[in-house]
Chains A and B, each alone.
Chain A
Amino acid sequence: MNEQVRIQLEDVSYTYEEAPSPALSHATAQIREGEFVAVLGHNGSGKSTLAKLLNALYLPSEGRILVCGYDTAKDEFVWEIRRRAGMIFQNPDNQIVATIVKEDVAFGLENLGVPTEEMLPRVESALAAVHMSKFADSAPHMLSGGQKQRVAIAGILAMEPSVLIADEATAMLDPSGRQEVLETVRTLNRQKGITVVWITHFMEEAAQADRILVVSDGQIVSEGTPREIFDDVEKMRDLHLDVPRMTSLAAELRAQGMPLREGILTVEELVEEVRRLCPSKSAI
């Protein structure tokens, strides 16, 4: 494997103060450069704890986390880690600091001590990358949820990170806003090669990732491509996680004796597969 490892979790556990059991226990995983990895789990599974560990907001109780080669437990690397692994949060309102969009995008740069004359071009290109240039002078509270999340992403982008961590960034948005934000992040992943850790409980979003880590009860219970993960319909049900509707429909049909192939995620794929099985009936 010649791709560079961006995030490395080595047997990581984290227990909240006075909590009886760890929120995350013995997690081991690797995320490589340019990957789009979804961390899937329902509420209370420990996925948000994982996000905060990756940004050195929490420090592991046991084990070790390396972000871009820096150990999160070491104080002197905290700012390096946060610059390289930017994070966007669930509530779009609670992460915007300034009263004007472009000033908020510049907030991270101000903190890093970037010279003033370098800021404007970086702010402008970050806003252009998330298609928010025409809102540069707007007040954040006049924007929609999806637009606010895109501003938050621009704020991270301006710092030129190599990893973007999204902690349920779409959970408070309406469907169109959710699509808008996911699309933006996927484009950044493809065009700029930014490694993405997408934490979510939406199956449809996880299905669009390169790889999925499934988290349940503080443990990473399975890992693989979306097809590998969702084909194990039984296991997903045991974990109280849904699989995409077409995958579960295909599994039902297979159980009824229809020899459909594995790994179906979308309507188009199912239609094609059914067509392949019944070539004479073109009316499907």
Chain B
Amino acid sequence: MLTNITMGQYYPVDSPIHRLDPRVKLVLTIAFIVAVFLVHTLLGYALILGFVYLVSRLAKIPFKMLIKGIKPLRMILILTFLLNLFFTAGETVLVEFWIIRITREALRQAVFYSLRLIFLVIGTSVLTLTTSPVALSDAIELLLGPLKKIHFPAHELAMMMTIALRFIPTLLDETDKIMKAQMARGADFESGNLISRAKSMVPLLVPLFVSAFRRAGDLAMAMESRCYHGGEGRTRFRVLKVTKNDYLACAAMAGLIALIILEGIFLT
């Protein structure tokens, strides 16, 4: 049960997008975010929507899943929309009654800001849905690699991410075990108000932390005895290779950005 969780929100299917080099995907996602900020017309957003739709089809991700990703953001979206709608100054009044005054410019801004937020979330979801956490930590290590010169701990960061991912199922399993053991002794994790429920977590968290620290000590010793001595002089088992598809993806993203810029210049 608890051991079978999928990590992060990775959607494990095989697709050309899944197979892209994670470094390329990470950089392209950043480029996509920039592209979203460059858009100032509805037609531009239509371009972005078309692009996202195409990518999600290629990645075999159900479009519904991307929409689901926006759900937790709905309060922020509504708030952004309303604040922009009511408090943006404008000339052309559309509706006016009592103290409420909605202008054409305000409506435009409210719609655009909301769309921008939606596409930012969708763009990053495409990255996390198609890239496993391990590949992502690899990409981060390699992309931040040059910063090692200024003593940025890129390798250590990636190693920490890997170990955290490795121990999530182990610790979940353990939580489950401790919970059952404490329940067998009469612990109650479910009833009572928020404060009493938080208090009932103490007999769960204390043994969990104690064991996590013991595990950390053991693991450090095991790693040392396997000759681990930091990132220096270390080679890699997993190699990332940039393929033809990666170049195609870069070209597609460049095309999108070019279209958006052109459309911004000529159609406004």
Q: Enumerate chain A residues within 8 angstroms of B221, measured Cβ to Cβ.
A: 52, 57, 89
Task: A155 to B226: give the CA distance in the assembly, Å.
Answer: 8
B176 within 8 A of A: no
Name the residue on A nearest B232 (C-beta).
A113
Contact with A79, one of B165, B166, B229, B235 (Cβ below 8 angstroms): B229
Task: A79 to B230: give the CA distance in the assembly, Å.
Answer: 13
Most buried by A among B134, B165, B221: B221
Q: Decide: A83 and B227 in contact? CB cutoff 8 A.
A: yes
Q: Decide: A79 and B222 in contact? CB cutoff 8 A.
A: no
Q: Decide: B224 and A57 in contact? CB cutoff 8 A.
A: yes
Q: Enumerate chain A residues within 8 angstroms of B235, measured Cβ to Cβ.
A: 109-110, 113-116, 119
Q: Decide: B225 and A57 in contact? CB cutoff 8 A.
A: yes
Secondary structure call for the A interface:
helix
What is the minimal beta-carbon distance from B138 to any residue of chain A, in angstroms? Answer: 11
Q: Decide: A142 and B233 in contact? CB cutoff 8 A.
A: no
What is the minimal beta-carbon distance from B172 to any residue of chain A, in angstroms? Answer: 9
Task: A106 to B239: give the CA distance in the assembly, Å.
Answer: 13
A96 within 8 A of B: yes
B223 within 8 A of A: yes
Contact with A111, one of B134, B218, B227, B238 (Cβ below 8 angstroms): B227
Q: Decide: A142 and B3 in contact? CB cutoff 8 A.
A: yes
B169 within 8 A of A: yes
Q: Decide: B169 and A111 in contact? CB cutoff 8 A.
A: no
Name the residue on A nearest B174 (C-beta).
A93
Contact with A98, one of B162, B169, B170 (Cβ below 8 angstroms): B162
A181 within 8 A of B: no
Task: A131 to B198: give the CA distance in the assembly, Å.
Answer: 47
B219 within 8 A of A: yes
A35 within 8 A of B: no
Question: Given A57-B221, A111-B234, A141-B3, A116–B239 Cβ distance below 8 Å?
Answer: yes
List B75-124 residues whose CB lies under 8 Å from chain A.
none
Task: A83 to B227: give the CA distance in the assembly, Å.
Answer: 7
A29 within 8 A of B: no
Question: Given A96-B166, A98-B162, A159–B134 Cβ distance below 8 Å?
Answer: no
Q: Enumerate chain A residues within 8 angstroms of B214, measured Cβ to Cβ.
A: 94
What is the minimal beta-carbon distance from A51 to any residue of chain B, in angstroms? Answer: 10
Task: A178 to B224: give the CA distance in the assembly, Å.
Answer: 25
Chain A residues within 8 Å of B, Cβ to Cβ: 52, 55, 57, 79, 82-83, 86-87, 89, 91, 93-100, 102-103, 106-116, 119-120, 123, 139-142, 155-156, 159
24 A-B residue contacts at CB 8 Å?
A: A82-B227, A83-B227, A86-B225, A93-B215, A94-B214, A94-B215, A94-B222, A95-B219, A97-B222, A99-B134, A99-B162, A100-B134, A107-B228, A108-B227, A110-B236, A113-B234, A113-B235, A116-B235, A116-B239, A119-B237, A120-B237, A139-B169, A141-B3, A141-B173
